[in-house]
Amino acid sequence: MPPEPTTDNPSTTSTSTSPSEQLLQEQQQEQQQQPQPQTHTHHTLPPPFTHTPTPLIPLTQGAEALVYRTTFLTPSTPAILKYRPPKPYRHPTLDRRLTKARLLAEARVLVRCRREGVAVPAVLGGDWEAGWLCLEFVAGETVRRVLDWWVEREGWRVKGKEGEGEGEEGEGEGEERDEAMLDLMRKIGRAVGKLHTTGVVHGDLTTSNIMLRPSSPSPPTSTSPNASPNVDEEEEDVSAYLAGTIVLIDFGLAAQSLRQTQEEDRAVDLYVLERAFAATHPTAERLFGEVLRAYGESYPGAKASLRRLEGVRLRGRKRSMLG
């Protein structure tokens, strides 16, 4: 007897699949096998920030904390909310202990700095169990943005003066502008020196964590690469803006240094700031010498920290060469 035809094999059915349909099926199977993209975790803010009359404006999101601009107690009191959300990869008990310890350490450092006269944000409130800290809002710009603006403005000024030949007046204006920026560098050096005088090391001393609270009401506008600014802007406006107050922010990695390690920790602080200048503002790296000069004159123990900085630099270069 002839074998009975099988009907369970799709390839032997009367309805054959076209090549285009087969290709479409293969693509769908490949898409199903590919891992799905991860979605961002939406953190639920703790009370009293769950429902606020003022919307929270996200500023930064780091590995440990989320930073928002908001208000505190009254809608007319601007503030910065620093929230450390729970880490699902840590044991809940350990996570709560670490969050509480780090928030308390940051708050204590800020309170100590304010008491010693260091310009840092004031602590407005906090809940160690809920994982948040509310700080004073510092109006102004980061020194990183100020340096970006200054370097860009200087570039447009040189470009606008090319071929025109500057006389004595132009040279005098350039010296006045440079002196205003050098004075800002001196204020940074003195601010870091005052911080170290209190026995506190910042731990992440970059130009993004140093604010300029300007005395001038209007901050500089960042110029677009496609539009040149007014290169003949009044020098008084530049000097007035740069004549602001230096405020140190983001003390999440700060520590109160022990006497045995003070010089080393201070030198590392300076080295981190020096590397920030070299990495983000290579054309303004020459200004950092003025920071160190003012730092060396800010308190009696500064010279020892500067000598230790040489050793930190050597170790940093060896690490860069060896990878």
The predicted-structure confidence for 48-107, as pLDDT tens digits, reads as follows 787 777 888 999 988 889 999 999 988 889 999 999 999 999 999 999 999 999 999 999
User: Is the same domain home to 301 and 223?
Assistant: yes
CA 167 to the chain's CA centroid: 40
Amino acid at 70: T
Residues 205 and 92 in one domain: no
Alpha-carbon distance of 153 to 222, in angstroms, equals: 9
* Helix (H) / strand (E) containing 70: strand 66-72
Q: What per-residue confidence (pLDDT) applies to 167? A: 45
**Band of the pLDDT at 34, cuts 50, 70, 90?**
low
pLDDT digits (tens, 9 = 90+) for 131-142: 999 999 999 999
- Tell me phi and psi for residue 108, to 5 degrees: -65, -40
Rounded average pLDDT over 119-133: 95
Cα-flanking dihedrals φ and ψ of residue 12, to 5°? -105, 5
pLDDT on residue 156: 59
Q: What is the pLDDT of residue 8?
A: 52
**pLDDT of amino acid 284:** 81
SS3 (DSSP) at 210: strand
204 is catalytic: yes
Query: How far apart, in whole angstroms, are the C-alpha atoms of residue 120 and residue 101?
Result: 20
pLDDT at 164 over 70: no
Average pLDDT over residues 211-215: 90
For the chain, how many structural domains are there in total?
2
- 186 and 109 in a single domain? The answer is no
248 and 202 assigned to the same domain: yes
Which has more confidence, 203 or 155? 203
How high is the pLDDT of residue 9? 52
Inside any domain, residue 197: yes
Q: Of 136, 165, 195, which residue sits at a domain end?
A: 136
Q: Looking at per-residue confidence, does 232 or 269 come out higher?
A: 269
pLDDT of residue 19: 62
Domain that holds residue 124: 57-136
Residue 41 within any structural domain of the chain:
no
**Cβ contact 256:280 at 8 Å:** no
pLDDT at 192: 98
Instruction: Give the residue from 73, 74, 96 showing the smallest Cα distance to 85.
Output: 96
Based on the domain organization, do 145 and 281 belong to the same domain?
Answer: yes
Diameter of the chain measured on Cα atoms? 114
Say if residue 121 is in the same domain as residue 254. no
- Nearest by Cα to 160 from 234, 231, 238, 235: 231
Residue 167 domain-assigned?
no
Per annotation, catalytic residue among 204, 232, 237, 269? 204
In a domain, 193, yes or no: yes
In this structure, the answer to whether residues 271 and 192 fall within a common structural domain is yes
Mean pLDDT value across residues 214-243: 59
CATH number of the domain at 99, please: 3.30.200.20
Same domain, 239 and 289: yes
At position 54, the amino acid (one-letter code) is T
Residue 12 lies in a domain: no
User: What is the edge-to-edge ordering of all strands in the sheet holding 210-213?
Assistant: 141-142, 210-213, 245-248
**Quick one: which of 99, 95, 52, 50 has its CA closest to 71?**
52
- My answer on whether 201 and 107 are in the same domain is no
- Does 264 map to a domain? yes
Q: Is the pLDDT of residue 230 over 60?
A: no
Check pLDDT > 60 for residue 168: no
Residue 208 has pLDDT above 80, yes or no: yes
